């Protein structure tokens, strides 16, 4: 029996399994542990180091930066010259600045939302990949239970390095 997850149900299943196994032959029970947080951290650091952003994404980031620079330049120009303009010119320039600010804020918000969505999607994909690797290790090495969320585990049960190694192997393909 292999158990995946991070909920109270996981502990309930593990407890039930251990009690049942204890009555049979608990000494033969094979338990493993994978530190999902460590995997997330290592993969995140690797992705940052590799700078795997697409050209389209980098272009969007550049566009927002340019928008900010242009808007800042217009604001500085407005601050310098506003006393030289008529009231109607000042109002018109202020409307233009307000519109630029609105556009910039919208583009920045969309960029951040898309970035958060991409991060969530990448994490879901990673966890699916990790789940498959854990399942493969469990079957291949005859583990009865592999858990991913515990307070303490003896390091001899830690399979995280194995999972990271297989993730790296799959990434090279």
Encode 33-78 in three state secondary structure. ECCHHHHHHHHHHHHHHHCCCCHHHHHHHHHHHHHHHHHHHHHHHH
Relative to beta strand 31-33, strand 145-147 is parallel
| Phi (first) and psi of residue 80, to 5 degrees | -75, -45
pTM, two decimals, is 0.65
d(CA 171, CA 173): 5
Q: Per residue of the chain (173 residues), what is the pLDDT tens digit?
A: 344 444 555 555 555 555 445 544 456 788 899 998 899 888 888 777 666 678 888 899 999 999 999 999 999 999 999 999 999 999 999 999 999 999 999 999 999 999 899 889 988 999 999 999 999 999 999 999 888 888 888 888 889 999 999 988 888 77
| DSSP code, position 145 | E
d(CA 65, CA 69): 6
Alpha helices in the chain (DSSP H): 8-24, 36-50, 55-81, 87-140, 160-172
Contact (CB, 8 A) for 143 and 2: yes
What Å distances lie between residue 71 and 19, 90, 134, CA to CA? 66, 16, 50
d(CA 147, CA 134): 10
Ordered domains of the chain (ranges, CATH)? 8-172 (3.30.910.20)
Q: Which tokens in the block code for residue 48?
A: 């940052």
Instruction: Provide the pLDDT for residue 27.
Output: 64
């Amino acid at each position: 029996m292999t158990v995946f997850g991070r909920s109270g149900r996981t502990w309930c299943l593990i407890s039930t399994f251990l009690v049942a196994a204890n009555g049979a032959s608990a000494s033969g029970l094979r338990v493993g542990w994978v530190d999902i947080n460590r995997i997330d951290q290592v993969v995140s650091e690797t992705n940052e180091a590799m700078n795997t952003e697409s050209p389209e994404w980098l272009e969007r980031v550049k566009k927002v930066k340019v928008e900010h620079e242009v808007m800042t330049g217009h604001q500085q120009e407005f601050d310098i010259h506003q006393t030289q303009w008529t009231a109607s010119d000042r109002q018109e320039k202020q409307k233009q600045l307000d519109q630029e600010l609105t556009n910039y804020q919208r583009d920045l918000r969309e960029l951040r939302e898309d970035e958060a969505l991409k991060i969530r999607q990448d994490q879901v994909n990673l966890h699916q990949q990790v789940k498959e690797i854990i399942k493969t290790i469990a079957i291949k090495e005859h583990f009865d239970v592999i858990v991913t969320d515990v307070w303490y585990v003896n390091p001899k049960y830690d399979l995280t390095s194995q999972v990271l190694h297989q993730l790296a192997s799959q990434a090279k393909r």
